[in-house]
Structure 1
Amino acid sequence: MLGELLSKVLLLLFGYAMPAFECFKTVEARPNDAHMLRFWCQYWIIVAMVIAFESVISWMPMYGEMKLAFFVYLWYPKTKGSDVVYDTFLRPIVMQYEPNIEQRLLHLRGKSGQLLSFYVKNFADKGTAFFMDVLRYVVSDKAEGSNLEM
């Protein structure tokens, strides 16, 4: 359990916080350095893909440690793994399916307004009903009686 916590803290520091700060420095200090901007864009694209597919592979033993090692490999200056992973694996696959992905995303964008209004309405209705039920319980005699027993 302690190992898992340590793994999550290290992942937070070396997988997200440190690369985010390095990316920030590149954007602010060297906005015209196209190579470094491309490098950090590739890193964040790969991280997003890993997170998107995490539910499929997170059952593996030592997944957190492997994820941490992979993220460090991606940004470590001597390996520059994001260039390798992006150019070798990710770019060819996405380029192959780009028209299909684009078509599906356009369809989802078109439906997103309807979907958002559906969820907001249902959440508001159910959230209001739940809040009122909790409020009724809190002010009821039953709640007062149970507090006295405790």
Structure 2
Amino acid sequence: MDAIQAQLSSSLAQLKAKLDESPALQKLEEKTHVPKEYIFIGGAFVLTLAFLSGVGTGTLCSVIGFIFPAIKSFAAMESHASNEVTQWLVYWVVYSFFSVIEIFAETLLYWIPFYYRFKLGFLIWAMLPQTRGAKYLYDNFLKDLLKKSESKIDAALKDAKSTAGKGDNGNKKDE
């Protein structure tokens, strides 16, 4: 029993040392008078329960799929690191393509159990610099598809632009 307590205390001390680097958790600890390691563990527990039960997984996918990549994209643009900017541009192309497919397949996706859990795993795989999943998908599938379809996409955009400029569903009004 003492060995378990010692291990737990050691693990909490390591977690606390890591969390000391977070000013937001420091402020939260000061306001709530709850140690930041307990706040972190409680938050992780609540998120895990929500994730396992399926509550809010769609929202979680949106937050993780947008917020983290947006922050990293901004940081990459500000640092002028071209390889990082390229990584995030590729991520946004893959994410956009995935989102368009998702719109058309929404009815079918409703019937896939644990869809949002799979989507979350996919998004994490696609965005992490360690896996470079978006780059893999872009290089092996999307690049050739987009290059072949570039003239059709440009024509569709030009048509949409001219239709949008006419107003009233594309019909010019008699004046």
What letter matches 2:97 in structure 1? M
More RCO (CA 8 Å, sep 6+) = 1
Alignment partner, residue 164 of structure 2: 112
Separation (CA, whole Å) in 2 of partners of 1:81 and 1:37: 15
Are 2:77 and 1:44 equivalent residues in the alignment? no
1:34 aligns with 2:82: yes
- Say which is worse superposed, 86-95 or 49-58, in terms of deviation: 49-58
CA distance in 2: counterparts of 1:34 and 1:25, whole angstroms: 11
SS of structure 2 residue aligned to 1:5: coil
Alpha-carbon offset, residue 22 of structure 1:
0.9
Alpha-carbon distance in structure 2 between the residues aligned to 1:107 and 1:13: 33
2:70 counterpart of 1:20: yes
**What is the distance in 1 between the residues matched to 2:74 and 2:60?**
20
Alignment partners' CA distance in 1, 2:56 and 2:155: 42
How is 1:64-143 mapped onto 2 (pairs within 5 angstroms)? 64-114=116-166, 117-118=167-168
Please, which of 86, 101, 105 is the counterpart of residue 53 of structure 1? 101
Q: Scaled by the length of structure 2, what TM-score is found?
A: 0.59
Q: Distance in 1 between matches of 2:168 and 2:55?
A: 38
Q: Which runs of 4+ in 1 moved over 2 A?
A: 2-6, 55-60
Which amino acid in structure 2 is aligned with residue 27 of structure 1? Answer: M
Identity of aligned residues (%): 22
Output one character per residue of 1:74-120: Cα deviation in whole Å (capped at 9) or x when no partner.
11122111110111111110101111211121121111112xx326x
Give how far 1:25 is off: 1.0
Higher helix share: 1
| 1:6 counterpart = 2:28 | no
Which runs of no fewer than 5 residues in structure 2 stay unpaired?
1-49, 170-175
Q: TM-score, normalised by structure 1?
A: 0.68
**Unmatched tracts of structure 1, length 5 or more:** 120-150
